[in-house]
Every structure is written in C-alpha cells, then in structure tokens.
Structure 1
Amino acid sequence: MSTLTNVVWLNSICLAGIGAYLLMRVFKKKQPAPYPPGPPGLPLVGNVLDMPQAKPWLTFMEWGQKYGDISHVEILGQHTIVLNSVKTAMDMLDHKSMVYSDRPVLPMTDEFAGWKDTLLFLPYGDRFRQYRKHLHRTIGSRAALDTYNLIEEIETHRFLKRVLTTPDQLQEHIRHTAGAIILRISYGYEVKESNDPFIGIAKRALDNFSNPNAFCDFLVEFLPFLAKVPEWLPGAGFKRLARESHEMAQEMASAPYKFAMDQMAAGIAPISCISTMFEGRTLSAEEDDVAKWSAASLYAGGSDTTVSAIHSFFLAMTLFPDVQKKAQAEIDAVVGPDRLPCLADRTSLPYIEALAKEVLRWSVVTPLGFPHGVSEDNIHDGYYIPKGSLIIANLWFMLNNPETYANPSQFNPERFLTNDGKQPEPEPRTICFGFGRRICPGLLLAEASIWLSAARSLAVFDVSKVVENGVEIPPEIDYSTGTISHPKPFKCSIKPRSAASTQLIQQDARY
C-alpha cells in the first residue's frame, strides 16, 4: 500500500470520527446548568490548542487567576475540569467522593500501554477496594510500617556509603535506594549492588509512563477508534510505543512477583507485602491476580516518586545553606556524633520533621496529581459537571499559592513550626498525596523515606554549591514536565562533615 494511500485512509478515519462526534453533539441532551468558565474553544476541536505541553500547571494557574477556582475545557467531546484551590478540591473530591472517585478511561495508557490493572488507573469498585485493603494492611498504618523500619534504615545507610564513594552519581544512588526499599517491602527481594534487573525494569517502565508528552499527547485518548489502525501506518507510531510499554508493565508486575512466590514455595521468604497477603491462606486465581497487581502498584508508586523528592532535598540544601545548618545543629544536639538518626528519633527532631514537610511542598512530585473521573452527572456550585469528565487538581499551585504559603519559592521549614505564637502554615500532606478515596496509600512510607534520607544525610554530609575556577556555580531550579516531575540535572558538592562522620558512614549497615 503506498504512503499516499495510507495517508488518505488515515484522513478518512479521522474525518469519520469527527463526523460521529458532530452527530453526538447534535443529539446530545440539554445540559441542566452551565459548564464552569474557561478559555473559549474552536468549532469541532474545542480547546485542543489551549492544552499546554510544557509545565501545564503554570497555564492552569493562569486559568485559575482568570476564571476562578474551577475552570473547564472540552476537547472533541471530552470535558476536563481544572481545580485551583484546596477548598474546591476537598468539596468535590473528598466530600463528594462517591461521585468523584473514578478514573477516566484512557485507552492509550490503560489498555494499550498496560497500566490498567495498577491501582493508579483502576476504576472505582470492588477490585479497587481489595487493592486498598491489601496495601493498608501492609503499609497503611504506622504500626504496620514499623515492621519495615530496619529495612529502611539499612538501605539508607548503604545509600550514605555509595554517596561517600561516588558523590557525582547522586541521582543514580537515590534511585537505587528507593528501588531497594520498595522491592524489599513489596517482595522481600534484596537488590544487587549494581545493575539490578528489577530496578532496571521499574526505571524503563516508569520512564515510559512519565514521559514529558504523556498529558493529552496521544490523539487516541480522544478518538479511541484510532486504536484499530495498524502499527505500520504512518502516524500510528503510538501503537509501537504502547506495545513496548505494555511489555514493560507486564514484566514489572510479573518478574518480582514470581521471585516472591518461589521464595514462599521454598519456605525462605522474609516478611513482605506479598508474604503478608498469603499468610495463612490459599488464594483463588482472582485473588492471586489482585495480590500481584497490588504489589506491582506499590512497586511502581514507590520506585520513582521518592526519587524526585529526595533529589529535590539535595537541591534545596545546596541553595539554602542556613536551613542546612539549623537542621544539623538539631541533629547534633539530640542524636550526637556517635550514631546515625533513626526513625525512632522523629518525634525528637521537630525541625527535621518540618524540613521533610517542606520538601513535599517546595518540590511538588506530581504537580497535577492524577485525573479523577466523574461517575455520574453532578451540579457543583451551580456548574454542570457531566459524567465521564476528567477532574485535574492543580497541586502545584495549591502548594505554591502565596495566599496560603508565604514566599512560596523559599525553602523554609519554619513555616510548619509554631513560632512566637504564630500558627503553622497548612500541612502539605493534605494536598500533595491527592484527595478523597484516591489518596496515595503509600503516603506514610513516602514521608518516612524522605525524613530518614534527609536526617541521615545531614548528620554526616555537608551539601554545597560546586566551585569551578574559584566561582560558586548555583544550580538552576527547573523541573521536568511529566506525570512525575523531577528536578533537572544539577551539580552539588557533597563532603563528609568530619573524620568521625566518615567513620560512622563506613560502619556495617546491617544492625
């Protein structure tokens, strides 16, 4: 078939789809109230040209300033509602959670890219509740999480050793440690010191998932019939990307799960999410599949999000040395020089606790969260929110709103402490982990990992700007566009605070 014929055929398919869309518009039922305000769209395609590709949270912030806390766009019949205030998000996603807890159907991401069985994309229903029940049992309470404190402390100590040896590979060390912690908790798997296959699997799968063009990038999300076109057709490159992503997602779910099952069959499995799910019972085929994908959801969720947060912690320490000195002074006074801070010290180190909170606020890991879906038509604040709408909460703006957080660009842990009778600013954890029944089930684990990495790193390292030719080089604050946003690569100097610090790092990490 010639290229010209291919193009004509693809154009015909698109025209047919637009025709079907127009017919749907003609016969659609009359809406009971106006949509929320938003930028005016074009005929046929609606607001397709208004959707930003780079740092969309900034464009959505501008919409909020122009149209109010809730705004609306429509792309080929798909309604999208953007929320720019915590109050509106809580009113809709928390207080009306029965209506706003679904996930939108995204053919590219769900079906073709292989993510449909993860908790993140699962529709609200019985299977969703089973996943949440499993994860709550293993990591959903402080008592449950205490089971894994030693794992976190050992792996974070190993992180310090790697940074001491090769500080220029900081980001790789952060990723390795995050993967090591989540794999041991999820599957009881202890990673190899380098080139671990399971860490590699997760990185490839999540790099594909969180690519910079993931948001509204594929036309198939709005014209699902395009999924039927063959992969070889010009313009159908998304089919190849989807196939590769599907293979990686399946491998990410199956390979470590098989390891854990083999360990249990041999009677040598340590405690983990999987071993806890199977404890004292035999699972049906359906329950087995739920267990596999529950663990995969934890594995995927914990392999990348804390990487971004901890990398941002080092960026903040490079840029805000006064904060670093205050934190180190607290550690020195409370913990002393003879041991590393541990998770049992959290209540005794309020400044470090506030610092960890500020990491979550200052570096918003998922600037737009993940879209909620609307399960039935709803009227909210006089506006019509049709069934099937996407609800996007602009978490980045909520955590950088100057009316809520004074000087939001400044990294200031003291905003979360009571000083001179002044009340602390709002907790970021009520925003950054999402809302309603879709709130992140691993939030306690994420907070503990960030706190421990920060406390232990500050106890033994000084982090500062790199000096080149006698001149300090300040790193740039710039974050990637993507579902999970990472700081762009930056240079910093990481050196032991003293000879005693070096000795402390080099002690055996198994204790």
Structure 2
Amino acid sequence: MSGNILTTAACGLLLTSLYFATRWFDRRNRSSLPPPPGPKGWPLIGNMFDLPTKDEYRVYSQWHETYGDICSVTVLGQRIVIINSPDVAFKLLNKQIYAGRPHYNMCCDLVGWSHALVMLPYGERFKGYRAMLKNAFGSRASVEKYKETMETETHHCLARLLNQEGSTNFTGPIRRSIGAILLGITHGYEVQSEHDSLVRIADQATDQLGVLLTPGSFMVDTISALRFIPTWFPGPFADFKRLARDWRSDLYGLTEQSYAFVKKQVSAGTASPSFVQELIEGKDLTEQEELDIKWVASSIYLGGADMPVSALSSLMLAMVMFPEMQKKAQAEIDAVVGHDRLPLFSDRDDLPYVESMLREIIRFGPPVPLGAPHCVTEDDVYEGMLIPKDSIVVANLWHFLQDPNVYPNPEVFDPERFIAREGKPAQPDPYDFCFGFGRRICPGVHLTDAQMYIFTASILSVFNIEKVVENGVVQEPKHEFTSGVLIRPKPFKAVLKPRSAKAEALIRMFGDTA
C-alpha cells in the first residue's frame, strides 16, 4: 500500500511540475500586450489570496472603482477576467470566440456536468441541444402551449401557501410548484410532494453546480494531476474524489431516472404529452440521440429551476420592504382581473406595472450575479489589453444592475423605473443581459419569464405579504443575499395573509393543498 501511495505522489509531483513549466513557456510566447489590470499577485500562486471567498459579486464591484470596466487576476497561471460594464460585456461576449465554457476538472469530468447544456463545449452537439430547445421554448408564443400547466400548478401553490397560513416557509411550496411545472413539461412527471425524490435530487444537483463553478473551490481545477489521486487515498487529500462520486450520483440519478420514467410510460402507452415524449415516441433512435435527449431534457430543469425560485424569493423580500409597491401592483391587478377569478396569461398585456415588476425583481436581486463563466477560445485584444486564450471570463451582472449611475437608488425596489414617461426615459431593461450573452444566452428565457409572471400576478392578487411581529417587535428584513454563483435572499421572515374572505374562498376553489 505504501508503495502505491509513494508512486501516486511522485507522479502527481512530476505532472504538477510539467503543468507549471508548460504554463511558463506558453506565457513567454504570448503577445507582449498587458492583460486587463488587477491586484498585484505573487510568483507562481498569482492572486490566490485576493479571490474573495464570499460576496464575490460585491468584491468585484468594488474592484471597478480601482481598475475600471474590465480587470483580471491569475490563480496558479489561470487568468480570470471580470467585466464590470454591460457595454464591454456585449462587445466581448457576443463574439463566437467567447462561446466556450471553462473546463473545470471537478465539474465537467469528475462529476459529469460536461453533458449538461450549461457546461457543454461549444460545437455541433451544443447546436443540436439549442435547436431542440428553440423548437420547444424559443419564443413567448411557443411557451403558450404550456400555459395551462403553469396556471394550474400556480393555483395549487396558492392553496398550499394558504394551508400553511402563519408560516414563514413560502419557499417550499414555490419550489415544489416550479419543479412540478418543469418536470411536467419535460417528462410528463407528476410531483408527489414537496419532498418528491426527483425534485430533491434536482435541487441538490443545482446547488452543487453553484459550488462547482465558484473559482478556487477545488484545487484539482487548477492542478489537473490531482485527479489521478485514487478515491481510497487516506486522509483529506481525496475528499474531493469522494465528493465527486456522490455528486455524480445525484446528477446522473436525475437524468437517468427521469428519462427511464418516460420510456416506461411510452412503452405502456400511458405517457403524458411532454418534451421527451414528443422526441422519442415512435422513433428509432441511436444511442447518441438518446443520450442527447435525456441530457437536454435534464438541462431544462437544472438550468431553469433555481432562477424563478430565487426571483420569487426576492419578490417576497421586496414586498415586505416596500409595501407601497405591493399596493400599486394589487390595484392594477384588481382593476384588470377583478375579484372573481385569478390572473391568467391573457391578462398580461393589460398589466404594465406587474410587467415592470418582473424586471425590477431581477434587478433588485440577480439570481445569478456573475452569470455562467465563459472561456475565450483564442487570444483576443480589447483596447490594447490581451485576453489570453483559455481565460475564464465572467460578467458581473450584480454590478450592472446595482450601479447607481445607471439605476439611481439601486437599493430601492421601484418598478416604475422601467416605465417611460415624458421627459423621463425608462432605465435599461435587465432582460437585455441578465439571461446571458451571445451564443450562450439562456434558451429558457421565455419559460422562466412566463413562470415569474404567473406566480407574481397570482400571489399578489390574493395575498398580502407582510412583516412578521415577534413579541411586539417588527422583524425588519434587509437587502442582503447569499454568496456563490447562484444566490437568493438571506433568510428573512415574512407572512402571507389572504387579502379578504373572498380571496380565501377563491384560493380554496383550487383545493390541492397536499
């Protein structure tokens, strides 16, 4: 056993030395142009100790004051470029050479995310995924065929929220309903409970992706040789391998179980209409075609569940902090919808304040503050600065959306900032960049937007979202968010109360509180 350990360690040391030597010679042969500015690093390790471990988006926003619209750091030879200007992001990230994704050893190889759309390398397989998704979700009109599913599940969510009146756990019912919509659309699968096994696995995998994409989380992403450490290696050195094994089980469990469910239903002739059912029923598929279908379907949930849940949590926070905005939205809904029914998609064009509220929700609390990382596939030059091939490039959406020079009083939730008036143009639409750039723009933008609309309008039509009073003390929430690639408001207390006896009766008509 000791001989195996020594051999593994020696191989790791040799490969690490070759890695650094290759990096050094490669840099010497690159252009003499300077990279984007940034904190001064140390020899070999670069800016390892400058990378923030929490509130990354806030730290990068502060760097804007020192280094300008674009800055960079290096960690063990890997350059990371941070863009703090939407104009720069559009100029760079809309180029095809920025359509790549970084190849994180932990995320892509050890856990297996290289098959999912979010981390799939740009190429023919990527284009095939996009074509399938464009056909199903590529426009607001194409999402219309799912409106009944979304409206029905939203009504069920209202009933569950009512059933737990007085509780501050509003996220659970919303997450269940978003999961039910996505699994119903993709696989015709009916979610059984808030703790449904597929929803649980999917949510775990999504949370894990946030960790996997955080720069500096795993040393194996920088030193590839570490991947050869065997899982049985004693002590903490192989902890990441054991973690990868468990997380791979979650990711593949979701993908395989959900696809097997549809195949079984199709074979039995009992399959509900769904994205997967339409692609496989009556088809003689190759092994590769089946692989692509199962992963693109899984990607819809993995890429689409967290953003609406986070956004709706931000809605709750905003409504508690700014009750006057809640009243304005409710007045508009009452005028258009009335008190005898719930909002429908057909009401949307007549609800401009609610429409603007969707933009403000994303601006107030960007669910993915740094977007998904891009990778430049060849050297690029921007305003005399070299962005080397294989650089990781991130757009700091948080800074774009919280910049007081663009959005005055950014800490204030104000949907009217997106409503143009005479002498006062609307402020920039967050939808122009919050769903990504170029060839990597989110293919599910219309589906996410539709879910945000129907949940926002429906919840506000029948509930008042209020502050919690404990022992006579009002619990005041703050505009604070978690750290990481995927964020949501830090825990806060809020309570949902029916707006009236008629509103409560309307909710109960839809009944499903299971």
SS of the residue corresponding to residue 180 of structure 1 reads helix
TM-score (norm 1): 0.95
Q: By how many angstroms is 1:10 displaced?
A: 4.9
- Show the counterpart of 1:334: 336
Given the alignment, which residue of 272, 275, 281 partners 1:273? 275
- The letter of the residue matching 2:124 is D
The whole-number CA distance in structure 1 between the counterparts of 2:30 and 2:306 is 44
Q: Determine if the alignment matches structure 1 residue 100 to structure 2 residue 98.
A: yes
Determine the structure 1 residue equivalent to 2:327: 325
Amino acid at match of 1:423: P
Residue 25 of structure 1 corresponds to: 24
Note the C-alpha offset of 1:213: 8.5
Q: Residues 67-97 of structure 1, C-alpha deviation per residue, up to 9 Å, x if partnerless?
A: 1111121111211111000000000011x2x
Letter in 1 for 2:300: L
The equivalent of 1:142 in structure 2 is 140
Q: Within 2, Cα distance between the matches of 1:87 and 1:198? A: 40
Q: Match for residue 51 of structure 2?
A: 51
Measure how far apart 1:508 and its partner are: 2.9
User: What CA deviation, in whole Å up to 9, does each residue of 1:446-497 have, x standing for no partner?
Assistant: 1111111110011000011001122211123321112210112211121000
Superposition deviation, residue 378 in structure 1? 1.5
Aligned to 2:114: 116
Q: List aligned pairs for 1:465-504, cutoff 5 A.
A: 465-504=467-506
- 2:441 matched residue in structure 1: 439
Q: CA deviation at 1:236?
A: 2.0
Q: How does 1:196-211 map to 2 (within 5 A)?
A: 196-211=196-211
1:236 counterpart SS class: helix
After superposition, the C-alpha distances for 1:287-331 in whole angstroms (9 at most, x for unaligned) are: 111111100100111222211111111111111100000000001
Gaps of 5+ in 2: none
Whole-angstrom CA distance in 2 between matches of 1:496 and 1:332: 14
Letter in 2 for 1:153: E
**1:443/1:7 CA distance change after superposition, 3 Å:** farther
Percent pairwise identity? 41
AA at the equivalent of 2:163? T
Q: Tell whether the 8 Å contact from 1:318 to 1:463 is kept in structure 2 after alignment.
A: yes
CA contact (8 A) 2:380 2:387 kept: yes
Aligned amino acid, residue 174 of structure 1 = I
- Aligned residue type for 1:85: S
Task: Work out whether residues 362 and 411 of structure 1, in 8 Å CA contact, stay in contact via their aligned partners in 2.
Answer: yes
Give the Cα–Cα distance (whole angstroms) in 1 for the partners of residues 341 and 433 of structure 2.
34
Letter in 1 for 2:79: H
Shift of 1:141: 1.3
Q: Contact conserved, 2:213 with 2:485, CA < 8 A, in 1?
A: no
Taking the aligned partners of 2:293 and 2:130, their CA distance within structure 1 comes to 11
Correspondence 1:293-312 to 2 at 5 A:
293-312=295-314
Matching residue of 1:464 = 466
Which residue in 2 is equivalent to 1:68? Answer: 68
Aligned residues of 2:12 and 2:228 also touching (Cα < 8 A): no
Letter in 1 for 2:462: V
Contact 1:366 / 1:485 at 8 angstroms: preserved in 2?
Answer: yes
Distance 1:23 1:339, change over 3 A: closer
Give the corresponding residue for 1:379. Answer: 381
Structure 1 pair 378–212 and aligned structure 2 pair: CA distance change class (3 A): closer
- SS of the residue aligned with 1:210? helix
Is residue 356–residue 415 contact of structure 2 (8 Å, CA) maintained in 1?
yes
Of 158, 162, 172 in structure 1, the residue corresponding to residue 160 of structure 2 is: 162
Report how far residue 161 of structure 1 moved: 0.4
Letter of the structure 2 residue corresponding to residue 224 of structure 1: S
1:354–1:414 Cα contact (<8 Å) kept = yes
Residues 143-169 of structure 1: CA distance to partner in whole angstroms, max 9, x if unpaired? Answer: 210000000000000000010011422
Asked whether the equivalents of residues 369 and 485 of structure 2 are also in contact (C-alpha less than 8 Å), the reply is yes
- Where does structure 1 lack aligned partners over 5 or more consecutive residues? none
Give 1:366's aligned residue.
368
Structure 1 residue 12: Cα displacement: 8.3
Partners of 1:242 and 1:363 lie apart in 2 by 30
Counterpart contact for 2:136–2:143, Cα < 8 Å: yes
Query: Which residue of the partner structure matches residue 227 of structure 1?
Result: 227
Report what 1:77 is aligned to. 77
Find the aligned partners of 1:181 and 1:20 in 2 and give their Cα distance. 46
For 2:454 and 2:388, the matched residues in 1 are separated by: 44
SS in 2 for 1:391: strand
How large is the RMSD of aligned CA atoms in angstroms?
A: 2.1
What is the Cα deviation at residue 407 of structure 1?
Answer: 0.8
Contact 1:186 1:274 in 2 (8 A): yes
Separation in structure 1 between the aligned mates of residue 245 and residue 410 of structure 2, nearest angstrom: 41
Q: TM-score, normalised by structure 2?
A: 0.94
Aligned to 2:186: 186
Report the CA distance between 1:355 and its aligned residue. Answer: 0.7
1:160-210: CA deviation from partner (whole Å, max 9, x where unpaired): 001001142211111111101100111111111343111111122223222
The question of whether the paired residues in 2 share the 8 Å contact of 1:61 and 1:84 is answered with yes
More deviation, 6-15/417-426: 6-15
